């Protein structure tokens, strides 16, 4: 990896979505694990990795909150589980 390539994001760049952030984070980790980065490149990759981790954590937290809102019992109709009694089962035949 060349220094600066794929690391810092300028304020003009749009915020990447979760999948893009995760994919970039995986590429950064793979590059760092290979051990072929200079100290400067490793520090830049680490800094970018921290930023991407925070983006991913924030996206997951937002998704979790949405799921909780969608599945909350407040204001939504409740579906009662069906439990057949012996008489209903006998009459079903």
CATH number for 52: 1.10.287.1040
For residue 55, with 0-12 CB atoms within 10 Å meaning exposed, 13-18 middle and 19 or more buried, which class applies?
A: buried
Range of the domain at 23: 1-72
**What's the CA dihedral at 52, 54, 59, 63 to 10 degrees?**
140
Domain count of the fold of the chain: 1
pLDDT tens figures, 34-87:
998 999 999 999 999 999 999 999 999 999 999 988 888 665 555 566 676 766
Confirm whether 79 is domain-assigned. no
Confirm whether 87 is domain-assigned. no
pTM beyond 0.85, yes or no: no
């Amino acid at each position: 990896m060349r220094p600066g390539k794929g690391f810092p994001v300028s304020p003009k760049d749009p915020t990447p979505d979760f999948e893009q952030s995760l994919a970039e984070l995986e590429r950064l980790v793979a590059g760092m694990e290979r051990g072929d980065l200079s100290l400067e490149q490793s520090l830049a990759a680490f800094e970018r990795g921290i930023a991407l981790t925070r983006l991913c954590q924030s996206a997951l937290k937002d998704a979790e909150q949405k799921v909780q809102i969608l599945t909350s019992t407040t204001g939504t109709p409740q579906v009662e589980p069906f439990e057949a009694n012996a008489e209903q089962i006998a009459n079903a035949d």
